[in-house]
Amino acid sequence: MTAVARAFRDLRSSESGLGSAEAARRLAAHGPNELVRSRRAPWPREILDQVVHPLALLLWAAAGLAALSGTPVLALAIAAVVVLNAVVAFAQERQAERAVDALRGYLPAQATVRRDGRVRAIAARDLVPGDVLLLTEGERVSADARLVSGEVEVDMSALTGEAAPVTRAADREDGHTSPLEAQERVFSGTLCTAGEAVAVVRATGMRTELGRIAALSQRGRREMSPLEREVKRAAWIIALVAVAMGAAFLGLGWLAAGLPADDALRFAIGLLVANVPEGLLPTITLALAVCVRTLSRRGALVKRLSAVETLGAATVICTDKTGTLTLNRMRPVAAWTLAGPAGLDGPPPAAPGLTASRLGAAIAACANADLGSPGGATGDPTEVAMLEAAAALGAGVDPVAREARRRRLFHFHPARRMMATVDEDAAGRLRVTAKGAPEALLARATRIADAEDAERPLGAAERAAVSAQVEGLAARGLRVLAVADRPLGAGEAAPSAADAAERDLCLIGLVAMHDPPRPAVPDAVARCRRAGIAIVVVTGDNGVTAAAIAREVGIVRDAPRVVAGPELSAMDDAALSALLRQPDGLIFARAEPEAKLRIAEHLRAHGAVVAMTGDGVNDAPALRHADIGVAMGRSGTDVAREAATMILTDDDFATVVAAIEEGRRVYANVRRFILYIFAHAPPEVLPFLAFALSGGAIPLPLTVMQLLAIDLGTETVPALALGRERAERDVMDRPPRARTARLVDRALLRRAWGGMGIVSAALVMAGFVAELLAAGWSPGDPTGDGAPLHEAYLRATTMTFLGIVACQIGTAMASRVEDGARTRPPLRSNRLLVWGIILEVVLAIALVGLPPLQPLFGTAVPSAGSLAMLAAFPPLVYAADALRRRRLPRPAPGAAAPTAVP
């Protein structure tokens, strides 16, 4: 029984197709031929999830307590922050669905089949296994099928990443190891670029290769980014501190100090609200949004704000080759014949030799590309490069004239590793022309053209000379093709089979081509090495080509470890884990969708933060499940762009590295303004504690409205400005931070609360007490409305407010300098901070000096002596932090080494 007969038997079908009744039964059993989304929680549930995570709950609690304490404006502002954050997060969770929608675009609306013995057009969604499908040039394949007659050329780049179309024929079953390499099969979503064939459908819907990719793209939910996890952790820290302080105040004020229960509860709520940095979430969001805008100007579109920070934590980049490391444009650089080598990347020779002219004419005949189309050159990049070589050798490359002379075309096939044409020359004689892999043509050649274009036997010496040239060119990372021809005898008809045509050939010469790396890639690779970031090449291309490019751009230096698709498939998890412990310089070739996904998940399971680049439909699962999916904006498919977190508008690997630098910068800046914001908790909390511990003998030094003005007013603009700090010069000379590194760690809390915070609190309380003492106040004296000291009390609370503002200037300047640093960045490098401080001072002056605002915020202009005292607060805070930094060990110099997975 033939292979085709077995296929019909297994699918219980025949050449006349299925009957309508049987097709209906199979449609009910197998379901429609379409991609389906996995079940998701109802959208109200997803929105609810976004408003009940720890930070949101903490902010809801703060809003409720603010409302209870008589500050509805603060309550509404906090609630608005939570709602806005929930809407943005909900929108991001819908990315997977959009990716599946984009995949659906690869399925045609209609298909041509045989049913009931007749040819008819049906809706593609009604295809079922066993249908006989008719394929023609220009149509998309509607389902996975086995060819039963005919031959087609198929563009499978969406599934495999290979740019060149491949030939599929009914009679080419060849014991393949992978379904996608099967020479007799076609797959859903691919495009027929030439030929006609009949096929029997094997799989439909989610059972197809395209459906498998859709299923992988939807597997699991998006995990939180490192920043999101750390903000969640910070929320718990803040909540615990706030609740503990509020409870302590309630106990001290009510039980120890003897305050009325209502007053103790009200001030406990105020203290709790004071401990919650309401501006933290909007400050982080705005800082990340600014970085997203900066990256967009540099060629990277980021679809999720937190992804910017995740990029900064990247320890491994899994990159494709073509189009990312290279320009994806083959260029001819050299030709070789027995007459000697000839350069092709300069001006064409005035009079090429006879053999070179013959080489150019043969290349021009054996081609399918077009150099002169209105939109530029069209066709496979290798074909275009070969035609450019022909033009450089003086041959005519007009596609109309070429087609007029052509009598037969034998498409390139991986098994033959060559293509051939039969053409009629000017004298009316037929000539076979072939081009392909040098070893393939050498095996079929018996003669070689010498320097005078005469033919002589291809002996051992000539074969050795050709092989030496091929090896020398390949060692330079060049792709080499051989070109040969032979005339047909008088009256001999054009061969009808490739094997009959591709025999007894005369080797004319070799052409070497180069897909040059992008100019910025070598420097970007070097920066990755200094930054301790490992680079893994994961490509659908040939391993030898990938290794040559990797060596040229500096990813590998010696013989790299190349793992082909079948070898990777045979590896168990333990072997793959062992291989990935030192991932830098690894090359995975002919990688399938599951392979890319498996590599990313193994790296992530061992603590690596993975950035994965890709452009094809087959890359979508890995792009979605990596920490950062990076899709190509120019050459990438819609599916890849929807599944990815970041899109490169220039398709350049160097842009990924620039984005990592930006991510490291934003992480450092987030720590800066968290330090800045946390440093203001002690001066906001200490006034409440002084009031409680003194049993009211010391009046409350800060009102709730003044607290609101600080948390959502004067504090915000300098915090945003800290988010615009430039990256340190050595930011890419440091190893990446560990996946378990804490955004809010003990060192930051010690510096914020135990350092700048305590100094600021002491200065603020000193200013408050000094203003009261200057007015003749003694502990316990009444300061309420109508009391003689009430005006002095207003000036004193204003001093507390202004003191905190003054200390904010000092903490802002100190927060710019990292721990252990001996120098500070020049102030002119962040002019936004200067303007932020100016705006902060102007706002404080307005709240204190404008009569309409004074009753609302309970402020009054302090005495001149007190105002003069404020000028010392910023330098004192900065100096205290500088002294603490000097006691810290200086960071060790030196470049980082590429990361090894633990």
Q: Is 415 exposed, middle or buried (0-12, 13-18, 19+ CB in 10 A)?
A: exposed
Q: Which of 148, 114, 147 is nearest to 128 (CA)?
A: 114
Q: Which of 716, 659, 756, 640 is nearest to 286 (CA)?
A: 716
Calculate Rg over the CA atoms of the chain.
36
Dist. CA 661–CA 512, nearest whole Å: 37
Q: Which of 627, 1, 683, 718 is nearest to 313 (CA)?
A: 627
Dist. CA 65–CA 75, nearest whole Å: 8
Q: 105-125 as b/e, with b when 16 or more CB fall inside 10 Å?
A: ebbeeebbbbbeeeeeeeebb
For the record, the structure tokens of 841 come out as 């001072």
Q: Cα 731 vs. chain centroid, distance in angstroms?
A: 20
State in Å, rounded, how far the first CA of the chain is from the last one. Answer: 54
For residues 590 and 132, the answer to whether their CB atoms sit within 8 Å is no
Q: Which of 134, 284, 355, 386 is nearest to 667 (CA)?
A: 284
Q: Cα 867 vs. chain centroid, distance in angstroms?
A: 52
Count of residues making up the chain: 902
According to DSSP, residue 582 is labeled S
Dist. CA 381–CA 423, nearest whole Å: 23
For the record, the structure tokens of 818 come out as 């990292």
Please name the residues in contact with 361: beta carbons below 8 A apart, sequence gap of 6 or more. 390, 395
Q: Is 289 exposed, middle or buried (0-12, 13-18, 19+ CB in 10 A)?
A: middle
Task: Dihedral sign for Cα 297, 302, 304, 305, please.
Answer: negative
Please give the biggest Cα pair distance in the chain: 125
> 3-class DSSP state for residue 5?
helix
Task: List Cα–Cα distances, 38 to 220, 223, 589, in angstroms.
Answer: 10, 17, 31
Dihedrals phi, psi of 457, to nearest 5 degrees: -60, 145
Dist. CA 687–CA 761, nearest whole Å: 8
- Candidate list 126, 320, 584, 881, residue with the active-site label: 320
116 is known as an active-site residue: no
DSSP of 813-832, one letter per residue? Answer: HHHTSPTT-SS---GGGGHH
The 3-state secondary structure of 286-331, one letter per residue: HHHHHHHHHHHHCCEEECCCHHHHHHHCCCEEEECCCCCCECCCCE
Dist. CA 690–CA 705, nearest whole Å: 19
Q: What residue has token string 């189009």?
A: 323
DSSP of 678-740, one letter per residue? Answer: HTTHHHHHHHHHHHHHTTTSSPPSS-HHHHHHIIIIITHHHHHHHTTPPPPTTGGGSPPPPTT
Beta bridge partners of 802: none
Q: How many CB atoms lie within 10 A of CB 688?
A: 25
Dihedral angle at the C-alpha atoms of 171, 176, 178, 179, nearest 10 degrees?
A: 20
Q: Which residues are catalytic?
A: 320
